[in-house]
Every structure is written in C-alpha cells, then in structure tokens.
Amino acid sequence: MASTGASNLTIHIAHSVNEIDRKAWDALSAGRPFQSHRWYQFGELVMDDCKPIYLLAYLDEDLIGRAALWTIRNEPLPIGPGIWRALFQAILRRWPLLICRSPFSNATGLILPSGTLRGKTLTALSQAALTAGRQRGCLMLVFDFLSEEESQNWPRGFSAVKVPDPGTVMQNRWNSLDEYLADGNKKDRQHHKRTLREAEKHGIQLERSKAVPDVEAALELIHNVDCRYGNPSNPWMRGLLENIGMVGGTWLDARQDGKLVGGGALLEDNKAQMTSALGLADNVPYVYLLLTYASLEEAFKRKVRLLRWGSGAYEIKQRLGFEMELTNNAMIAFGSPILNRLLGRFL
C-alpha cells in the first residue's frame, strides 16, 4: 500500500480490498448498501479483468474517505448496436475508462466526510484519481451514480453529466408479503392472486436456491432480454451467476415442463437487496410478474431495509411502490487537457 499527500490528510493507495483493514473499511461504509468489504471482494473476483485502485483518505490515523476505482476496457456502453458501439469498444480496448463505483450495484464508489473536510478530501481523492488515470493511460475518469448533492462543488477539470434512466428503490416497512399486499388496495391484491393462478394454469413453477442450477440456460435467457431491448451484454454476468453465494445471493428459477423460462438473482449487502440478472423466455406469460412477487417476498422475509431494482419498467415499479433513485449524476474528466476543454464546450 503506497501513500501520497500533504499536511495531516494523506491518500493511501491499495490494489486489492484484501490489503485494507476490514473493520476500518466497514466502519467507513457505515451500513451503506453495497459498500461492505465482502461486497468488494465479490466485485474483485467477478471483475477479475478490471484492475482496481483504492484511494484511501486518512486524517492522521483515521480513515475518513475513499474512492474505489476500476480500470475497465469492456464497459457495457449505453449506445445502440452498430458502428458507434463498435468504434467506442475499439477505443476502450486501447484507452480504458477509470470508473469510481461500487460493482454491479448502481452505487457510487466515493465516500466523503461531511462538513469542512469534504472539499479538501474530494480535492485530494479526485487529483489522486486523475494521476492514476494518466499513469494507466485511461481515456476518461468517471465518478458515476452520484446524487445531486454529491455532484456539487467539484474541482476544476471535471464536467457534470446527467445520465438518463435513473434506478428505482423502495424503503421496506413491511414484515411479510401478506402485510405488504394488505397495505395496498383491492386491485393490487387481486392482481397478485391472478398472477399466481395463471402461472399455475400455465404450468410455471418457481424454485429458490443459493446457487444457479444451470448457468448456461440462465445466460441464454439473460441474453434474450438484452437482445429484446437492444442492451449491451454484461461481460461479467457469468462470474456473477457463478458466485452469488459470496454475497448471500438467491436465485429465482422459473420452469415450465422442466424447462427454464425465467430467472433472476437477488443479491444482498448491508441489509439491502438488489434484483439483477433478469432472464426471460419469449412468449411465456406471467413469468416476469411471478419473479417480481417472489423477489418482494424474499426481501420481506429477510428483513432488508432497502430494495433496489434498477432502471426501466417504471410504470410497473411505481405501481408496486418503488420510487426513482436520483443518483443519475456523473462527474467526468478526460485524461487530455485538450479533450477536457472540448468536453466543457460541448456540455
């Protein structure tokens, strides 16, 4: 672990979360969703092709802030398939992105102290991140999944970007699915009963497991969803499915006549649950709704305090009680000062 800094605020650099004291890391995380030491161990294992850089801000001997950075050459870019996506993918193979985020969770990898130390710590961490990006020949430094407050008062050289399609979250205040349904209206309760009845009529059975029984079949259905909506494939999906047990994961397995027709991974950290890896077969009704209610049931059973469902299908999610998670702000800086000036003019 290297260090750099001045005065009594210093920035230490680590290249694996295993080099960092677990208690100090988790104390700084303070129960934040998808920020635990264990979660980053999971991230490193699955994203083994992305070299991490951990910038740790210490005030004397106390860890007060951090930036978790990943060197990414195969970022699933939100660009339609075709020549532009191919061009950007070719560029990133030569000049990667350096991205500050918590892996797989739609959450920032930046934690700052509050009060007067925030600005000083942000400046020290962001400058250290710029230096690391230049040393690795990165095209761009990105701090994404920031709230409106977290995107304020950044040092010069960074430009703000608003990302479309924010994620969705729900604060849990129920102890069971029955309690959740009773808190809604009659139409919602009827919808749940109809979903179960129709799924049974179509011979769809749902099972839960702590590992994915058939990774290949699950990947095929996940790829099917990506193709349907023109989404880039997640290059780390296989590793995620093979290692969900590291983070208390649950796999929802929907089958019709023994054949997998739908599935999804429920990942958990610091009493928060995230739904991921949705896979669906074509023309099999009620599978999505069956998986939806099962994920809610698991969350209530496990007493999580937060459910995170990502972007898309906003109308359905709003009806179920989810709200927009307005962390769709990003701060970016190019490795080249010339590109930075051009970006500033463009924005």
Condensed to tens digits (0 to 9), the pLDDT of residues 275-302 reads: 999 999 999 999 999 999 999 999 999 9
Beta-carbon contacts of residue 261 (< 8 Å; ≥ 6 apart) = 204, 221, 254, 255, 280, 281, 284, 287
The residues, any chain, with a CB within 8 Å of residue 30's CB and separated by 6 or more, are: none
**Mean pLDDT score, 231-259:** 95
The pLDDT assigned to 89 comes to 84
More confident residue, 316 or 82: 316
Please, what are the domains in the chain? 2-165+327-346 (3.40.630.30), 168-325 (3.40.630.30)
Question: Is residue 347 pLDDT above 50, yes or no?
Answer: no
- Within 10 A of 139 (CB to CB), how many other CB atoms are there? 19
Residue pLDDT, tens place only, 121-149: 999 999 999 999 999 999 999 999 999 99
- The confidence score (pLDDT) of residue 1 equals 64
Q: List C-alpha distances in Å: 44 to 59, 63, 71, 94, 286.
A: 27, 21, 12, 22, 36
Proportion of the chain above pLDDT 70, given as a percent: 94
Q: How would residue 182 be classed by pLDDT, with cut points 50, 70 and 90?
A: very high
The kind and range of the H/E element at 344 are: helix 337-346
| pLDDT at residue 7, as a whole number | 61
State yes or no: pLDDT of 250 exceeds 50: yes
Report which of residues 107 and 345 the model is more confident about. Answer: 107
Provide the β-strand partners of residue 102. 107
pTM beyond cutoff 0.85: yes
Compute the distance between CA of residue 138 and CA of residue 335 in angstroms, rounded to an integer. 6
Mean pLDDT is lowest, of 73-87, 176-190, 194-208, 248-262, for 73-87
DSSP notation for 163-222: PSS-EEEEE---SSHHHHHHTS-HHHHHHHHHHHHHHHHTTEEEEEESS-S-HHHHHHHH
Helices and strands (DSSP H and E) totals, the chain: 11, 17
Per-residue pLDDT at 337 = 59
Average predicted confidence (pLDDT) for the chain: 92
Q: Which two tokens stand for residue 83?
A: 């020549």
- The predicted structure's pLDDT at residue 341: 55
Residue 164 has pLDDT above 60, yes or no: yes
pLDDT digit string, tens, across residues 62-102: 999 999 999 999 998 777 677 887 888 888 889 999 999 99
**Tokens 């008062």 sit on residue:** 153
